[in-house]
């Protein structure tokens, strides 16, 4: 399986209003290092997984809707907890929705999104695609 990973940063504000989150129940900021890894079983005719520039642009577009936003006020998170895990799934779904339309995107087997809050703590979400 071949893979390509692109990496970007973004910053958000949010609160996690449940006792399980302790001090994070209040409004606070978070900065994430975001890594998206695209996988496919065989390289395309140009011997790549997909164009690295396109992969970065797609991620930039997705993160532009989150960067410097208060997720407590973001319509896509209304009534939902914006945990690191939930954000990873949101980004994976949004990236997949944009990238899967192209021929290289249709050939992808999966993608993974990892959000690193610190060098010592991160969460990931994996999205597998049906063959075909």
* pLDDT digits 0-9 by tens, 55-108: 999 999 999 999 999 999 999 999 999 999 999 999 999 999 999 887 788 899
Rounded to two decimals, what is the model's pTM?
Answer: 0.94
- 29-42 pLDDT, tens digit per residue, is 999 999 999 999 99
Domain that holds residue 110: 2-128
**Residue with the two structure tokens 């975001």:** 34
Q: How many structural domains are present in the chain? A: 1
Position 131 pLDDT exceeds 70: no
What's the CATH code of the domain at 95? 3.30.479.10
Burial of 87 (0-12, 13-18, 19+ CB in 10 A): buried
């Amino acid at each position: 399986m071949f893979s390509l990973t692109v990496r970007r940063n973004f910053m958000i504000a949010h609160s996690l209003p449940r006792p399980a989150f302790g001090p994070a129940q209040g409004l606070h900021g978070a900065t994430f290092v975001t890594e998206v890894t695209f996988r496919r079983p065989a390289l395309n005719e140009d011997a790549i997984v997909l164009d690295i520039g396109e992969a970065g642009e797609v991620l930039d577009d997705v993160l532009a809707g989150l960067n410097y936003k208060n997720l407590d006020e973001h319509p896509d998170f209304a009534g939902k907890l914006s945990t690191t895990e939930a954000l990873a799934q949101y980004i994976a779904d949004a990236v997949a929705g944009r990238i899967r339309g192209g021929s290289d995107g249709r050939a992808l087997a999966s993608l993974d999104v990892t959000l690193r809050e610190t060098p010592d703590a991160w969460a990931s979400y994996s999205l597998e695609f049906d063959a075909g």
